[in-house]
Amino acid sequence: MNDHIKQLGERIESRSAVVGVIGLGYVGLPLASALHSGGVRVIGFDVDPAKIKALNEGTNYLSHLGHDMVKELAESDRFDVTTDFVRLREADAVLVCVPTPLKGNREPDLSYVVTTGRDIGMALRPGQLIVLESTTYPGTTRREFLDAIYEGAKAVGTTLESGEDFLVAFSPEREDPGRKSHATATIPKLVGGLDETATDLAAKLYRIGIKEIVPVSLAEVAEAAKILENVYRAVNIALVNEMKVILSDMGIDVFEVIRAAATKPFGFQAFWPGPGLGGHCIPIDPYYLAWRAKEIGHDAKFIELAGEINHAMPAYVVEKTARALEERSLAAKRAGVLVLGLAYKPDVDDVRESPSFELIELLRERVARVDYSDPHIGATWKMRHYDLGLTSVEITPETLASYDAVVISTNHSAFDYEMIAEHSKLVVDTRDAMRLYAPKMGDRLVRA
Ligand SMILES: NC(=O)c1ccc[n+]([C@@H]2O[C@H](COP(=O)([O-])OP(=O)(O)OC[C@H]3O[C@@H](n4cnc5c(N)ncnc54)[C@H](O)[C@@H]3O)[C@@H](O)[C@H]2O)c1
């Protein structure tokens, strides 16, 4: 072990290490806060000047994190933020939390990871620990990410070796925004280095702000474990969505069935059907593995099938809604429909990959008018795929009664379900939100 790496270890042990966090979004910001709370100095990096300005002013842009976290960071003399990536040289450890989306053809888009790798390479100095956190397929850290670091270093005439002069590891983020039971500091963190020293020092670094660290033998194991977690969810959600479609035609309530099955104390974990998949992870990450599997000659059949079933859910809900309207002798094409919930899950304002958008677009092809109500999202904006141009409708007895159907896409706890039950002409419930009111609603309630 050379002196630079030895010193890095000592700086981590003594908490005098400086930590750089690149990408201050849903993952990077709470991570920066957790490590800052552990006592180290943290520098946040982002390409978005609006985020840097907000953090300097102590303004929170991710509401689920609460205002106190950002205020505490803004007031601390151990935290600062910048768009100047030359300052990466100041950091002993650099943690990378940039997006890993899909391209239009569902292929991995590693451009953010590669650009960031190059930025790191251009500022690289001996004795740095670089950790990729962005979800990706196994092998990315060792190939694409490390290559990008070398490329950046070469561009500025730096010749340093991974494992000798600097260390590289992968540690997946398991953040679940909005979940009250766990936060960054209490979710066990997997760490796998490109070599043993990298694993060891990365584990020590994360222990500063995170309770439980789980070292694994290789970066590839950590990368694959994260993808397995998300494939497991995608596949199980597809399974219950398929069960929903089948059981519905048998006149059986899938939610009651799942609750019944979940009384078995072992061997069964409950997953819940819904209007489709949402969020940054589950609809995207499995395709990273599927793509890589194809590259080495395998079809990831479970992933493809789960994707197919989950992606078909918005159309299923729309079909059920149209049918329910027709059964009430209402021509669907003259109907007004109110969609409740635009966020992809309850009680957050996160709309990434939310199935509500597709639901609204598909409904627009079938009915006369579609509006939405979401207490967390006042109006829609132009996005990559959607530009709905809608403003949230306030739920009152009068507004509810003015629509021919109300479709519950997201079961926010702020919705007044009793009022919805009482004043809606027809409720199409994709989330089992109306269970309590089912007896009194009779055939005004349809499950989809
Ligand atoms: N959101 C989640 O719940 C979650 C959970 C687990 C894992 N992840 C993974 O973590 C990674 C980050 O996701 P996120 O949800 O935090 O994304 P995000 O979009 O909320 O944040 C990413 C941040 O990176 C910044 N950024 C983009 N390009 C950059 C660059 N070249 N240099 C510096 N900053 C740059 C963006 O401005 C943004 O602030 C992804 O790989 C994602 O799959 C996300």
Burial class (CB in 10 A: 0-12, 13-18, 19+), 260: exposed
Nearest 5°: the CA angle 18, 19, 25 is 150
Ligand 1 atom showing the smallest separation from residue 177 Cα: 3
Ligand 1 contacts CB of residue 429 (under 6 A): no
- Which segments of the chain belong to CATH 3.40.50.720? 3-217, 312-448
How is residue 400 written in tokens? Answer: 């509810």
Neighbours of 43 (CB within 10 A): 21
Ligand 1, residues 61, 98, 226: which to mutate, most atoms within 8 A of Cβ?
98
Both tokens assigned to 61: 């842009």
Residue 310 Cα, ligand 1 centroid: separation in angstroms? 24
Ligand 1 center to 23 CA (angstroms): 6
Q: Which atom of ligand 1 is nearest to the CA of 29?
A: 16
- What confidence score (pLDDT) does residue 280 get? 82
pLDDT tens across the length of the chain (448 residues): 789 999 999 999 999 999 999 999 999 999 999 999 999 999 999 999 999 999 999 998 888 888 899 999 999 999 999 999 999 999 999 999 999 999 988 899 999 999 999 999 999 999 999 999 999 999 999 999 999 999 999 999 999 999 999 999 999 999 887 788 888 999 999 999 999 999 999 999 999 999 999 999 999 999 999 999 999 999 999 999 999 999 999 999 999 999 999 999 999 999 999 999 998 889 999 999 999 999 999 999 999 999 999 999 999 999 999 999 999 988 889 999 999 999 999 999 999 999 999 999 999 999 999 999 999 999 999 988 899 999 999 999 999 999 999 999 999 999 999 999 999 999 999 999 999 999 999 999 999 9
Nearest CA to ligand 1 atom 13: 99
Give the whole-number percent of the chain exceeding pLDDT 90: 90
Instruction: For residue range 340-351, list pLDDT tens digits in order.
Output: 999 999 999 999
Q: What is the residue with the minimal CA distance to atom 27 of ligand 1?
A: 98
Quick one: pLDDT at residue 175?
A: 82
The predicted model scores a pTM of: 0.94
Residue 179 has a pLDDT of: 82
Nearest to 278 by CA among 362, 369, 227, 341: 341
- Select from 27, 53, 116 the residue to mutate for testing ligand 1; criterion: most ligand atoms less than 8 Å from CB: 27
Which residue, 79, 85, 14, 101, is CA-closest to 47? Answer: 85
CB of 395 sitting under 6 A from ligand 1: no
Residue 23 beta carbon below 6 angstroms from any ligand 1 atom: yes
pLDDT of residue 181: 86
Distance in Å, CA 28 to ligand 1 centroid? 7
Query: Separation of 98 CA from ligand 1 center, angstroms?
Result: 4
Task: Give all strands (DSSP E) within 114-166, no chain letters.
Answer: 129-132
Q: Which of 189, 195, 187 is nearest to 214 (CA)?
A: 189
User: Cβ(99) to ligand 1 under 6 A?
Assistant: yes
Return the active site residues: 281
Instruction: Please report where in the chains the tokens 């890589």 appear, as a residue.
Output: 292
CA 355 to ligand 1 centroid distance, Å = 20
Handedness of CA 414, 418, 419, 424 (dihedral sign): positive
Strand arrangement, sheet containing 405-408: 369-373, 336-340, 405-408, 427-429, 445-447
Atom of ligand 1 nearest to the CA of 176: 3
Pairing of strands 445-447, 427-429: parallel
Sheet holding 93-96, edge to edge: 79-82, 41-45, 18-22, 93-96, 129-132, 167-170, 189-193, 213-215
Angle at 308 between CA 307 and CA 313, to 5 degrees: 95
> Would the CB of 178 count as within 6 Å of ligand 1?
no
Q: Considering the domain 3-217 in this protein, what is its CATH number? A: 3.40.50.720
Kindly give the distance from the C-alpha atom of residue 145 to the centroid of ligand 1, in angstroms, as a whole number: 16
Domain with CATH 1.10.1040.10 in the chain: 219-310
Mutation pick for ligand 1 pocket among 22, 24, 26 (CB with most ligand atoms within 8 Å): 26
- Catalogue the E-assigned strands of 164-305: 167-170, 189-193, 213-215
Q: Is 220 in the pocket of ligand 1 (CB under 6 A)?
A: no
CATH architecture of the region 219-310 = Orthogonal Bundle (1.10)
What Å distances lie between residue 311 and 63, 83, 108, 138, 271, CA to CA?
A: 28, 37, 18, 25, 17
| pLDDT (0 to 100) of residue 275 | 97
Q: How far is CA 306 from CA 38, 162, 225, 282, in A?
A: 40, 38, 18, 11
Ligand 1 lined by 197 (C-beta under 6 Å)? no
**In terms of CATH, what superfamily is 312-448?**
NAD(P)-binding Rossmann-like Domain (3.40.50.720)
CA nearest 279: which of 106, 101, 132, 138?
A: 101
Q: Which amino acid is at 48?
A: D
Q: Which of 280, 287, 288, 350 to mutate to test the pocket of ligand 1 (most atoms within 8 A of CB)?
A: 280
